[in-house]
Amino acid sequence: MDFSCFGYHPDLESRLTFQEKWVLAAAFNMITTNAAQALGLRDYGVAKGAAADFVVLDAQHVQEAVVARPRPRDVYKNGRLVAHGGTIVTAAR
């Protein structure tokens, strides 16, 4: 899996084993694509017309985002900020 569009850190790639890369890719899919499919979400993904629901994490690369689960987080629903650092800032629509 190519994580380059998500800030994949190329220096780490050379240090990770195939199994570690596979586990990270599986974990990333589990919390993104697979979760959306399990919830029956339509129009999931980055595409014109898709819902703008996403979480912004302070992480240097995908590996850190998946493993460390960094905080604080910003949560957006329909393109609007609804939570910042664990505090609701506006009601989601």
pTM of the model: 0.57
**Could you read off the pLDDT of 38-84 as tens digits, one per residue?**
889 877 776 777 777 888 888 887 778 778 877 778 999 888 999 99
Q: Examine the pLDDT at 20 and tell me if it is beyond 90.
A: no
What domains, with CATH codes, occur in the chain?
4-88 (2.30.40)
Q: Which residues pair with 56 in a beta bridge?
A: 74
> What pLDDT sits at residue 84?
92
Residue 24: Cβ within 10 Å count: 20
